[in-house]
Structure 1
Amino acid sequence: MKETNEIKPCCAASRSNFQEEKTPAEKATVSSGSAFQEKLIYIPGGEFWMGTEDEEGFPGDGEGPVRKVQVKPFYMDAHTVTNAEFDAFVRDTGYVTEAEQYRWSFVFHHFISKQAGQVQQLPDTPWWYGVDEAFWYQPEGPGSTIEDRMDHPVTHVSWNDAEAFSKWAGKRLPTEAEWEYAARGGLEQNRYPWGNELTPGGEYYCNIWQGKFPFENTKEDGYASTAPSVSFPPNGYGLYNVSGNVWEWCSDYFSTNPSPASDQDTPMVIRGGSYLCHHSYCNRYRVAARSMNTKDSSTGNMGFRCAADV
C-alpha cells in the first residue's frame, strides 16, 4: 500500500482552508416525507470483509486493517440524488444550501464560467478555486446552469444539506459500513464494484479522469465532469456509479482507526471517488477507498445518495 498520511485536496476541497462567515439565511421548513422511495434497493444484511490492505491503497486514510463487519438489512438508493430531485426539495421547502449562505463554493479550474467574478485559489492546489456565486443550480458560477443536467448528481451540497434532504425524503445518509457493503455488490475484497480489473475488455465502468491530471482529460469514458446518475453498468446489487462520478457523503465521522469517531468537530466520511480521481494521484475510486470533508464544505465533485431502514 502507498505510504501516505495526507488526504489530497483533489478528492474534495475543504472550506476550512478559508475563514469566512455565512450570510444568515431564513430557516426553511424541512418536513419528513416519502419522496423518491421507488429508487430504493433492498440490500440483504450479512457479514463482509471491510477495508483493504491492497498495495494500491492508502494506509494513512485508514483503509485497513481488513476486518469482518456485520451489517443489518437496509435500503439504498440505486443512484445519487439528482439535480431534479434536489430541485423538488428546494421548491417544496425553500431550503437554502450552505454554499448559497457562504456565497461561494469550490470549482475545478477547467470548468469556471467565463462570467465568474471573484475567485480564490486553494493553497497548494492550483486546480481548485473558490468561485463566487457557485451553487448547486449554477455549478460553475454565474452564467452556468443545470438545465441540461437535471439527471446528473446534484453537487455543491454540504453534509448538512445532504442530511436535510434525506430527512425531507423520509430517508437518511448511509453509514460507512453500509455504503461499502452495498458498493461491493456482493463481491468479496475486490478492488472495484465489478471485479479487480479497471477496464474489463477495454470497457469503462466508471467516470474518472483519463490523461494527465490536472491538465488534460482525454474523456475516454465519455465525460469531463459529471455523468448522469444512471450511467455505466450497475453493480451486483443494482447500484450505479459507486465508483467515480461524485464523492458521496456518509453519516460517520472520519477516523483512521476501526473505532468510529464522534467529535462534532471531526470531518465526515465521503466515499466512492469522483470524476477527478486518477491513478497517478488519487486512485480513490476503489471500493475500499475513503476520504473526508467538513460538514459545511461543498465542491463540484461531491454529492450523495440516501439509505433507509428496513
Structure 2
Amino acid sequence: MSCCTPASGRAAEPAPAPVPGAGTHAIQQVAVPAQAFAMGDAHDDGVRADGEQPVHEVRLPAFTIDATSVTVADFRAFTTATGFRTDAERFGWSAVFHLALTDPDRVAGRLHGTPWWLGVEGADWAHPGGPSDTALDDHPVVHVSWNDAQAYCVWAGRRLPSEAQWECAARAGLPSRRYPWGDELPADGHAVNIWQGEFPLRNTAADGFVTTAPVRSFQPNGYGLWQPVGNVWEWCADWFSPVYYAQSPVDDPRGPSTGAAKVIRGGSYLCQDSYCNRYRNAARSSNTVDSSTGNMGFRTVAA
C-alpha cells in the first residue's frame, strides 16, 4: 500500500481456522484504565490521505493489552500446536526490504512503485530475510498478515485491538502528544527503532538496529507498553477509512463495518521524517488482509 508496507496482490485458499481458545498466551499484560481521550493528529503532522483528523473525543472502558508485540517465540508456540501455515508460507513468498535480504537468488521481483521491497521466495515469519535466515525468538514476529494475526487471536482466546484502543494505550494518558513519551525526540533520537541515514540506501544503525529490535528495547511508555511506535507496524481489528474520524461514535468505536484494507498502527524501523513520518501516536495506515512484509506484526488485547 505504501513505501512502508506494500500490498501483496496475492490469492490463495483461506487457511483453516484454529480451535478457539485452545492456546496459551504468555505475554505480560498492561492495564489501561477507562477514560476519555482526544484521538487524532493535534499537530497537523500527518498525510491528509491517512485520515488522522479531525481530532475527536473517544471514551473507552478499561481493557488489558500486551506489553509487547507478539514475538517469534510466541508465534512459534501457536504454529507448533496447530500446524498453522501463514499466508506467506502458502503463497510461497513475502515482501523483504532490500537491506534485509539474505538470499539474492530467491528474489522473484521488485514490488511496483517501491523497488526497495523485494518479493522473496521462502521469506516468512521463521525466515524474515529469506530461507537461509532464522528469526530471533525475542524479536517481533513479522511476515504475518491480518489473517494470520487473527488466527493467532482465535487460538489464544484474544483479539486484535481496535484502532481506538491501540492509540489510547500508546498515548498512556499524555493528551495530544506526538509520541508515547511526549512531543519531541531525544537529542540522540534513540527512543525508538526507526531509520537513520539516507533512505532507502543506507541505514547507519545509530540506534543499534538495521531491521527489527528485540521487543523489550528502549523504554516502555507510562502504561508499560514497549515500542508501540517504531520497530514494526501493528495490525488492528478495524477496517480502514480515511473519513471515519468525521463520523466516529464517541463510545468505544470499532471502525467502519466494511472496507478493502485493515488499519495498521505505529510505524516501523523504516520510518523517518524525510518520507514516512508515521512513528507517532496518531499515525495510521492500512494494508490488505493477506499482505505480509518484514515490518508488520501485531499485539493483542483480552477478548
TM over 0.5: yes
Structure-2-length-normalised TM-score: 0.93
Pick from 3, 7, 26 the counterpart of residue 14 of structure 1: 7
Partner of 2:86: 97
CA distance in 2, matches of 1:68, 1:28: 36
**Cα shift at 1:262:** 2.1
Partner of 1:3: none
**Cα shift at 1:36:** 2.5
Partner of 2:285: 291
Greater alpha carbon shift after TM alignment, 111-120 vs 228-237: 111-120
* Identity, % of aligned positions: 50
**Cα shift at 1:124:** 1.6
Alignment of 1:1-310 (within 5 A): 9-16=2-9, 20-22=10-12, 27=16, 29-33=18-22, 35-37=24-26, 39-114=28-103, 116-146=105-135, 149-199=136-186, 201-202=187-188, 204-257=190-243, 258=245, 259=247, 260-263=255-258, 265-309=259-303
CA distance in 2, matches of 1:76, 1:26: 26
Greater alpha carbon shift after TM alignment, 183-192 vs 53-62: 53-62
CA distance in 2, matches of 1:230, 1:293: 26
| Pairs aligned (count) | 294
Give the conservation status (yes or no) of the 8 Å contact 2:23–2:78. Answer: no
**Cα shift at 1:105:** 0.3
The structure 1 segments of at least 4 consecutive aligned residues displaced by more than 6 Å after TM superposition are none
The verdict on how the C-alpha distance between 1:38 and 1:247 changes in structure 2, with shifts beyond 3 A counting, is closer
Letter in 2 for 1:247: W
Letter in 2 for 1:220: A
Q: Which runs of 5+ in 1 are unaligned?
A: 1-7
The verdict on how the C-alpha distance between 1:10 and 1:30 changes in structure 2, with shifts beyond 3 A counting, is farther
The verdict on how the C-alpha distance between 1:283 and 1:306 changes in structure 2, with shifts beyond 3 A counting, is same
Letter in 1 for 2:5: A
**Cα shift at 1:27:** 3.0
Q: Per-residue displacement from partner, 1:84-116 (whole Å, max 9, x unpaired)?
A: 000000000110101111100000011111354
CA distance in 2, matches of 1:196, 1:26: 42
Structure-1-length-normalised TM-score: 0.91
Give the conservation status (yes or no) of the 8 Å contact 1:174–1:250. Answer: yes
How much is the aligned-residue C-alpha RMSD, in angstroms? 1.6
CA distance in 1, matches of 2:20, 2:56: 38
Give the conservation status (yes or no) of the 8 Å contact 1:47–1:71. Answer: yes
Q: Which runs of 5+ in 2 are unaligned?
A: 248-254
**Cα shift at 1:38:** 5.2
